[in-house]
Amino acid sequence: MIHYLTYWILRAFSFLINLLPEDFSLWAGKQLGRAMFCLDRGHRKVALENLHLALGKEKSGEELLAIARRTFENLGMMAVEFFRLPRMDVETFKKRVKIEGLDEALKLLEKDKGMLLLLSHFGNWEMMGMMSKLIGDSIMVIAKPMKKNKRVDQFITKIRSSTGLEVVSSIKSSRTVMKALSRNRVVGILIDQRAKRSEGILADFFGKEAPTTPALAVLAMKTGAPVVPVFMVRNGFNQHRLVIQKPLELVHSGDIKKDVGANTQLFNHALESMIRQYPDQWFWVHRRWERKKRAS
């Protein structure tokens, strides 16, 4: 029953957001984020714990609190922008988003090895899907399915697909991704969620080991596809910067196990560097380093 209710709440929210004028709906999203910062004690606590762990030695408690608050505001605005994505066209995207490094990135496809995008829950990561329409070719992204609520999963996937993305389940997706890369396609992989200890490897992230997926490193080493970090940075009200960085220079020593670890570490550092520049735009509400301790 709760899953069914959640689905219809999201449908109603999407309907309402698309009825309102865009600037007003975005303002309302920011206020929603502020309200959730006050009301959602659980995620606020997680965000502050993560911030203290990552930046506690560099910033004061007041600064960390302000970062957490702005994080929630960003998430509120992102929710509004996400549900309005089906109405966005390429021209509108170009007006809202300043794109950096696209031409250089597209030249990498001349090597005919495809391209792997290092993605993260940063800024408005969902809006990056519009790049499919901009370059005229569907970008493949790997997404973890919401098994507990298939209706919501289908609804979210439909919105993502409206931007031109091809959304593929993360379950047994390796062959699908390798096939796409062999056809010189672009594939995006999120690397910043906590991996299961049985599947991930421990890599440094803000000075503390974090279970991290080795999938991106393994795929890059197997296929030779370049790994390009991409970030969508909120740049004021209803404005963004799409930062497409240069491909990372991967480690190839011949020791596969060590190379996977070294390259996964390289990816974490690339993400950490961007978060340090824009700390309020990352997804601090996720327990990145460890699971919540169960009460004994």
Q: Which candidate, 72, 197, 196, 215, places its Cα nearest to that of 141?
A: 215
Q: Render the burial of 77-101: b for 16+ CB within 10 Å, e for the rest.
A: bbbbbbbbbeebeeeebeebbebee
The answer to whether 101 and 174 are in contact (CB under 8 A) is: no
The answer to whether 221 and 256 are in contact (CB under 8 A) is: yes
Residues in the chain: 296
Residues 6+ apart with CB under 8 A from 89: 133
pTM (predicted TM-score): 0.93
pLDDT tens for the chain, residues 1 to 296: 787 899 999 999 999 999 999 999 999 999 999 999 999 999 999 999 999 999 999 999 999 999 999 999 999 999 999 999 999 999 999 999 999 999 999 999 999 999 999 999 999 999 999 999 999 999 999 988 887 889 999 999 999 999 999 999 988 889 999 999 999 999 999 999 998 877 899 999 999 999 999 999 999 999 999 999 999 999 988 999 999 999 999 999 989 999 999 999 999 999 999 999 999 999 999 999 975 554 32
The answer to whether 211 and 194 are in contact (CB under 8 A) is: yes
The span from the first CA to the last CA of the chain, in angstroms, equals 31
CA distance 190 to 142: 7
User: What does each C-alpha distance from 276 to 175, 231, 242 come to in angstroms?
Assistant: 35, 13, 17
Residue type for position 38: C
Question: To which H or E segment does residue 189 belong?
Answer: strand 186-190
CA distance 26 to 21: 9
Q: Which candidate, 165, 222, 164, 186, places its Cα nearest to that of 114?
A: 186
- Six-digit token string for 173: 């997706």
Question: To which H or E segment does residue 231 belong?
Answer: strand 227-234
Question: To which H or E segment does residue 169 belong?
Answer: strand 166-169
Radius of gyration of the chain (CA): 19
What integer pLDDT is reported at residue 156 of this predicted model? 96
CA distance 68 to 285: 9
Q: Which candidate, 196, 201, 188, 193, places its Cα nearest to that of 262?
A: 201
Q: How is domain 2-281 classified at the architecture level of CATH?
A: 3-Layer(aba) Sandwich (3.40)
The answer to whether 55 and 64 are in contact (CB under 8 A) is: yes
What integer pLDDT is reported at residue 57 of this predicted model? 95
Q: Report angle CA 83, 244, 156 to the nearest 5 degrees.
A: 20
